Structure 1
């Protein structure tokens, strides 16, 4: 097997070789003044054993240290896809008094639109992404958390902080500034390198790996994939044929049980909304479900809502492959309007690129037909 030259930049680094002295510094938190500390969550014996092991690992890596901070969040476990347990810190109280970083996260639709003409892909997943950023010394005490085994604080950026995604996204945008839009997509700690040919991909991959090496950002090799013709990325599968929903997501939708509360309805509609570009008339189908989320509305499930729920599931499960926009040829937009909402579809060369639909504001419902049709055109554009 011939190894491409670009892969020569892949260097195996033991966790024992990592040093926090070389990591970027995060100046993130303002002063906080705790009033009272939350009670510890109860844990099962298996969770207590896992907690002790993970704390020891974090201590050995130098990610946490014993703390005497007056602040202290509690901890809990969440099961991951591979059935292992992820240690989570409940920073909700800290997040309430944290001034939000307004650095925007990129729109998923905009990211995929950049892939027009791409035929070769490589996916890179950074290892414990947030943990590759240090916290400023004066802010370390604010990351403190309490366990039955002791009081600790992070010296690196932990998961669960309200500004962690935007801070990391800002770092990645600065690191890959010269490559963005050209041949790399970055969404927090997920990196996708794309090229129109294998020759281009060789050079692009060499550039990205060189940047990671220079900036001392480390990837988890077991979660990276190189030289692919089809890649799963951000819940989608991308290939030269276009973009489709990830089969794993389709499977979870198929098995989604009937909601029994407004919270469960909101969770399902959140997933459906993420894939709204794949479903024609999504808002119309989901209208009866959305009514349950209105303030003051008592939760009531009936046959009509069950029908809407099942139809929306079916539309998502059998969602089409969407074409990626090309730089040649024009586009066609088809729009429509009704008392229920405004809808449109973007097409090119006879293939669907995206669907979009929006509910009407209450004051627009009584618009005459011609004004509604014009509003649909404006929405589509």
Structure 2
């Protein structure tokens, strides 16, 4: 908005600061709370950090020197290593009674969500009452009320679905071919944020991630350009994912190839999330049935919080399931897998490779 913002180098102070390990919320967990909501309001705290007072006696530690003199912060400045954790602690303490019921908070972004408009008005009044009682202020220009779709943390959410922010998609469309490692790392970091939307991401990104290895000379052969354009195209498709509905059953589809494993979590025929990763050198030497089981175990670990406590369908190539169920003797690794699978209530459905087209594409794309 054109106003001044001080950028202070606090590296020396941060180095001797005892780190606050308070956990920042996982972004995916916040999204999962919004699946049933019909109305959304987003509140943005005005210079959120500056609404938190520095502990009395610690002000001098924040001193910054300028050509106009030396100044101490009375409020929480940007750049302190514990600033995010401190602010997150405050937000969670203030809203703990309402978190994941009708409000989610990520640092200074507050989203109120409801299933009806009448309910939404009541929820907003409750949140504003908390803010007023604690002398916290929002920035009106950045607040949106009673929306059927909301932009939150780079995603568009509404009607039980989640999409990428159009401005981020446009940024990828305009991304030029990287000429050096920092440019490639920036691109991969950007696209990786949206990997849950990209089927077979790990396999598709492999030619590019190989260039990030230490001592790897910079070369950009055709396979890298193809992978770069392929990832861009995957983002430009603007895929839509369903937000999870815990009242509906889940389906897990998995598959494996020689170099990667993949899976998709689905509900009512719609994808909720994609997952994939490369196999390491040891895993690449596994027999086919163990690669398939590695895919199953990996996906169930990633989506454990969705699947525990409810029955779900697991669809994969029948070779892995039939082998695992009929094997008389299990290796220590297979025994660990069996113990892990015992936690879940799984309805297994055999899906031969030709029929398992959804997951097959994830590991081979």
In 2, Cα distance between the equivalents of 1:91 and 1:267? Answer: 24
The Cα of 1:207 is off from its aligned counterpart by 0.9
Map 1:86-235 onto structure 2 (within 5 A).
Answer: 86-235=5-154
CA 1:100–1:150 in structure 2 vs 1: closer, same or farther (change >3 Å)? same
What is the deviation of 1:215? 1.4
Q: 1:336 aligns with which of 242, 250, 255?
A: 255
CA pair 89-353 structure 1, distance change in 2 beyond 3 A: same
Quote how far apart the aligned CAs of 1:298 are. Answer: 2.3
After TM superposition, the structure 1 stretch with the greater mean CA deviation from structure 2, 130-139 or 279-288, is 130-139
Give the corresponding residue for 1:307.
Answer: 226
TM-score by length of 2: 0.79
Deviation at 1:86, TM superposition (A): 4.2
Give the C-alpha shift of residue 83 in structure 1. Answer: 7.0
The answer to whether the 8 Å contact 1:259/1:265 transfers is yes
Select which of 347, 363, 377 maps to 2:282: 363
Please say if 1:289 is aligned against 2:208. Answer: yes
Q: Measured at CA, do residues 339 and 91 of structure 1 come closer, stay the same or move farther in structure 2, by a change above 3 Å?
A: farther
Q: Counterpart of 1:193 in 2: which secondary structure?
A: strand
Structure 1 residues 141 and 85, CA, compared in 2 at 3 Å: closer, same or farther? closer
Q: 1:339 to 1:163 in 2, by over 3 A?
A: farther
Aligned to 2:104, the other structure's residue is in SS state strand
C-alpha separation in 2, matches of 1:154 and 1:321? 44
Match of 2:337 in 1: none
Match of 2:181 in 1: 262
Asked if 2 retains the 8 angstrom alpha-carbon contact of 1:105 and 1:166, the reply is yes
Match of 1:245 in 2: 164
> CA distance change for structure 1 residues 310 and 92 in 2, over 3 Å: closer, same or farther?
farther
Query: What CA deviation, in whole Å up to 9, does each residue of 1:246-291 have, x standing for no partner?
Result: 1111111111122222222221111111111111011111111111
Q: Alignment length, in residue pairs?
A: 300
The Cα of 1:84 is off from its aligned counterpart by 6.7
Task: Provide closer, same or farther for how the CA distance between residues 99 and 368 of structure 1 changes in structure 2, counting only shifts above 3 A.
Answer: farther
**Which is further off, 170-179 or 360-369?**
360-369
**Is the 8 Å Cα contact of residues 277 and 356 (structure 1) preserved in structure 2?**
yes
Does the 8 Å CA contact 1:236/1:246 hold for their aligned counterparts?
yes
* Inter-partner Cα distance in structure 2 for 1:211 and 1:177: 11
Q: Tell me if the contact between 1:116 and 1:327 (Cα under 8 Å) persists in the aligned partners.
A: no
Aligned to 2:264: 345
C-alpha deviation, 1:109, in angstroms: 1.1
Contact 1:335/1:380 (8 A) holds in 2: yes
Could you state the TM-score of these two structures normalised by the residue count of structure 1? 0.75
CA distance in 2, matches of 1:325, 1:290: 30
1:276 maps onto 2:177 in alignment: no
* Runs of 5+ unmatched residues, structure 1: 1-81
* 8 Å Cα contact 2:34-2:160 kept in structure 1: no
- State whether residues 120 and 201 of structure 1, in contact with CA within 8 Å, keep that contact through their aligned partners in structure 2: yes
Unpaired runs of 5+ residues, structure 2, are 301-365
Kindly report structure 1 stretches of 4+ aligned residues shifted beyond 3 Å.
82-87
Q: Kindly report the root-mean-square deviation, in angstroms, between the aligned alpha carbons of the 2 structures.
A: 1.6
Q: 1:252 to 1:141 in 2, by over 3 A?
A: same
For the residue of structure 2 that corresponds to 1:154, the secondary structure is: coil
